[in-house]
Amino acid sequence: MEISQKIKFGILGGGYSNERDISLKSAKAVNNALIKKGYKSSILNIENKQKLLSKDTYKNFDFIFILIHGLGGEDGELQNFLDESNINFSGSGAEACKKTFNKTLAKSYLPKSIITPKQFTWDFDQKTINKNDKTVKKIVVKPVNEGSSIGVSIVENKQEYVKAAVEKTLKYGEFMLEEYISGKEITVAQVGKEIFPAIEIIPDDNFYDFKAKYNSNDTKYIEATYSSSRQKKLNEYIFSINKEFGCKGWSRTDLIDDGENFYFLELNTVPGMTSTSLVPKAAKYAGYEFDQLVLKIITHSLD
């Protein structure tokens, strides 16, 4: 499907989550790509919820490319508003966004065939893990509604270490505790029905945190190559996950590969589109330049 040059694009960026600055960088990159291709495009810098959910914000645009990460962009409220306002937008609808936004709840929507790390709950009175499993050597503590690895800690499964990590994470609101799985950290982008080559992420300090994502020159990104049978298994896995959530347009799924199984961590309905972002890197391995990727996302969002 060829996208009409008459379409006026609004690139939605900013927002009011902890990922605001990253969102604006994504919005700038996509806006520049569309202008380069001859389209009319403008950045919509959102500072508050009132502006986000006002029809006046969108009155001069035919299509909204959503690049607000986290709260306000990926929780489904915006998608529901745009649907009710009959405004075309990029990516998944409200239901898929609601299902994937909370990292703990997301896993409850998946069948048992999708393997996830073991989950734990926190006893606030005793300040310890409920029904702890001492065979689990390390615990991941992370906010359920933040992205970009904000507020994430990986600690030994000892009460004092987990307690300190929980206290550090509390300022971000609801959090989760799960088993740390040792293996390759990979991420897989799907645009329409096409699955791009998986990317393996190799941070310089064994932890892909916010610093490693955006402020480090030492983090390595390589194409994760597999045998044909294992690649087929991974592709079927990604298709299944996207189908279970009801995703549309594009997504990025984060997993751990322990050499035998692929462990589902989370799915992003509004991935980053900065120069260091993972979907553009994966698109390059698939043979697409950045502007081609942008047009593919728009096309499949309109399908």
287 assigned to active site: no
303 assigned to active site: no
Catalytic residue among 272, 277, 288, 301: 272
Catalytic residue among 252, 257, 263, 288: 252
272 assigned to active site: yes
Distance CA 165, CA 152 (A): 8
Catalytic residue among 75, 263, 266, 288: 266
Catalytic residue among 161, 172, 214, 226: 214
Residue 247: count other Cβ atoms within 10 Å of its Cβ.
23
Distance CA 196, CA 154 (A): 29
Catalytic residue among 268, 277, 288, 301: 268
Catalytic residue among 18, 92, 145, 148: 148
20 assigned to active site: no
Catalytic residue among 75, 146, 244, 254: 254
Distance CA 79, CA 95 (A): 9
State in Å, rounded, how far the first CA of the chain is from the last one: 9
148 assigned to active site: yes
Distance CA 21, CA 35 (A): 21
Q: What angle do CA 112, 107, 65 make, to 5 degrees?
A: 125
Q: Is 2 exposed, middle or buried (CB count within 10 Å of its CB: 0-12, 13-18, 19+)?
A: exposed
User: Given its phi and psi angles, is residue 74 left (phi above 0), alpha (psi -120 to 50 degrees) or beta?
Assistant: alpha
151 assigned to active site: no
252 assigned to active site: yes
Q: What angle do CA 267, 1, 291 make, to 5 degrees?
A: 60
Catalytic residue among 10, 19, 242, 288: 19
Overall residue count recorded for the chain in this entry: 303
261 assigned to active site: no
Distance CA 222, CA 184 (A): 11
Q: What angle do CA 233, 289, 7 make, to 5 degrees?
A: 105
Residue found under tokens 């997301």: 106
Catalytic residues: 19, 148, 214, 252, 254, 266, 268, 272
